[in-house]
Amino acid sequence: MRTKTFFRKSASTILSVLALSAMIFMTACGDDDNDAPQPAEEQPTVVEAANSAGLTILLDALVEVDLDDDLLNANEITVFAPTNTAFEAALEAYGVDNLAQLTAEIGGEANLATVLNFHVVPAVAFAADLQEGAQEFETLSGESLTVTKSGANVTVTDAAGSTYSVTTADVEIENGVVHVIDGVLLPTIDLPTIVEASTSAGLTTLLDAVTAAELATTLTSASEITVFAPSNEAFVGLLERYDASDLNDLVAKIGIDAVTEVLTFHVVPAVAFSHDLENDSQTFETLQGQEITVTKSGSSVTVTDYLNFTYTVTTADVAIENGVVHVIDGVVLPDLSSDPNVVEAATSAGLTTLIDAVLAAELRDPLLQATAITVFAPTNDAFADLLAAQEVSDLNGLIAKLGVDAVTKVLQFHVVPAVAFSGDLAAGEQTFTTLAGEDLLVTKNGATVTVTDASSNVYTVTTADVTTKMV
């Protein structure tokens, strides 16, 4: 009996102990759950942090030079991140409107990457990690920047000596920290000289010409220049125009002074990137002293010389240490002579009807751009005789009767595509093929020169050897 009672008592005790143990276990488990380490809060990437902070221009710049992935994949970084306002101040300082223009001004995407890498230190440095005073950190660009801590203030100084403040510190990211700053830090940016840029671009003929004219020092020492640099192929066209076999032959034909004038006509003593140009035609005075016409139409830029030859910029905005180079597909020519061109000579001689006819037939540019011509120019009286013979009152009536093509052919019949001064003519008769494609008979008899047309009409040269400038 006692045994049974004992058993019951013991069983009750055991049950109580088990219940108490269960409560203790449950309580202990509850306490363990509360004290267990929580998962670490996930930090943003540098791109996400910059986006949250509204640093859109910085992000655009990183994407433009493919640095966003480099920063995301780096082990440890500290980024001094310029605000949009800081970038806008940099754009204003360079006189540009956007990031693309700034990129051109500092020498292209490679230099933009250098600038951006100058804002990144390959280590983690929170504000609390900084020493009091100035300290230097080597950046991803390879150049060091100076960080100065003074109490709660932190500033950063770039290679140019400009100092900017950290406005928001210690933005933790998954692989480091971002400090927002109020300026764009500039490293040392090396731009090539005009000679180095031309060498890199393979403009060997231009370099040879510059050397021959002893212009290298003049160009490299100039404070500001814009160079419209002809390609090698452009110089080939110039040699053909002057029937020169090479640069030395060209110098022999036109002289080193003329070559120097041609080269300096390609240089404007100011800096004009393509984004600085107006979307229209504008003129610039060159180092040679004459003006050159530059026309911008959308993304296309052309250059026109005094002969109205127009050439295209094929490679724009090559930044150099004292300006910019634009490569062009032709050699632009200044006025190399004090002689009048054929139109000016005709105007001076009072050959107004001839000028009107040339303009009506749209022959002005072909005559101005011809490399060599001899013109047998009819006087106003000669044209009056023609109008009377055709029974018309004026040039318009002649064009209406014969047609502009016929008038054009008549005018071309007065032009020989070669230079023939009276002293070059042989005594007696000789024929010359004209621009009209028909032969003109020229006869020299002592000091008298006559021309005979296809209808056997003979006319006398009344004024000979009026020299005109040639291309």
Residue 357: which of 385, 339, 374, 377 has the closest Cα? 377
CB 68 within 8 A of CB 58: no
pLDDT above 70: residue 24 = no
Closest CA to 326 of 371, 268, 382, 380: 268
Give the model confidence (pLDDT) of 60-114 as tens digits: 999 999 998 999 999 999 999 999 999 999 999 999 999 999 999 999 999 999 9
| 264 lies in the same domain as 307 | yes
Per-residue pLDDT for 25 more than 70? no
pLDDT digits (tens, 9 = 90+) for 224-283: 999 999 999 999 989 987 778 899 988 887 789 889 999 999 999 999 999 999 999 999
Does one domain contain both 151 and 245? no
Helix runs in 106-164, H state only: 109-117
Same domain for 300 and 376? no
User: How do residues 300-359 score in pLDDT, each as one tens digit?
Assistant: 999 999 888 999 999 999 999 999 999 999 999 998 876 677 888 888 889 999 999 999
| pLDDT at residue 257, as a whole number | 87
Which residues lie closer than 8 Å to 380 by C-beta, 6 or more apart? 350, 351, 352, 353, 354
Nearest to 307 by CA among 282, 280, 331: 331
pLDDT at 450 over 70: yes
Of 328, 351, 386, the position where a domain reaches its end is 328
Q: What is the pLDDT of residues 141-161, one digit of tens each?
A: 999 999 999 999 999 999 999
Are 59 and 159 members of one domain? Answer: yes
Any domain includes 65: yes
**Domain's final residue, options 152, 181, 210:** 181
Cα 452–chain centre separation = 54
Question: Kind of pairing, strands 225-230 and 323-328?
Answer: parallel
CA 181, CA 159: separation in Å to the nearest integer?
Answer: 16
The answer to whether residues 202 and 225 belong to one domain is yes
pLDDT attached to residue 39 = 54
> Is there a domain that residue 29 lies in?
no
Q: What's the CATH code of the domain at 433? A: 2.30.180.10
Specify the higher pLDDT residue, 117 or 370: 117
Banded model confidence at residue 360, pLDDT cuts 50, 70, 90: very high
Residue with the larger pLDDT of the pair 30 and 108: 108
**Does residue 4 fall inside a structural domain?**
no
What local confidence, expressed as pLDDT, does residue 338 receive? 63
Contact 181, 83 (CB under 8 A): yes
| 9 assigned to some structural domain | no
pTM: 0.64
For position 34, what pLDDT does the model report?
A: 54
3-state secondary structure of 269: coil
For residues 270 and 369, membership in a common domain is answered with no
Query: What average pLDDT does the chain have?
Result: 89
Same-domain pairing of 286 and 378: no
Q: Could you tell me if 363 and 420 lie in one domain?
A: yes
Which letter, b or e, does each residue of 232-248 get, where b requires 16 or more Cβ atoms within 10 Å of its Cβ? eebbeebbebeebeebe
Q: 434 and 415 in contact (C-beta within 8 Å)?
A: yes
**309 and 351 both lie in a single domain:** no
Q: CA-CA distances (angstroms) from residue 351 to 435, 460, 469?
A: 20, 16, 18
Helix (H/G/I), strand (E/B), else coil: 260: helix
Average pLDDT over residues 162-170: 97
Interatomic CA distance for residues 331 and 231, integer angstroms: 8
User: Are 154 and 234 within one domain?
Assistant: no
Q: Is pLDDT larger for residue 95 or for residue 13?
A: 95
Q: Is residue 6 part of a domain?
A: no
- Domain extent, residue 379, equals 342-460
- The reply to whether 302 and 417 lie within a common domain is no
Is residue 152 domain-shared with residue 236, that is, in the same domain?
no
Give the SS3 label for residue 14.
Answer: helix
Tally of domains within the chain? 3
* Strand ranges, E, within 112-239: 120-121, 133-138, 144-150, 153-157, 163-173, 176-181, 225-230
**Does the structure show a pLDDT above 90 at 128?**
yes
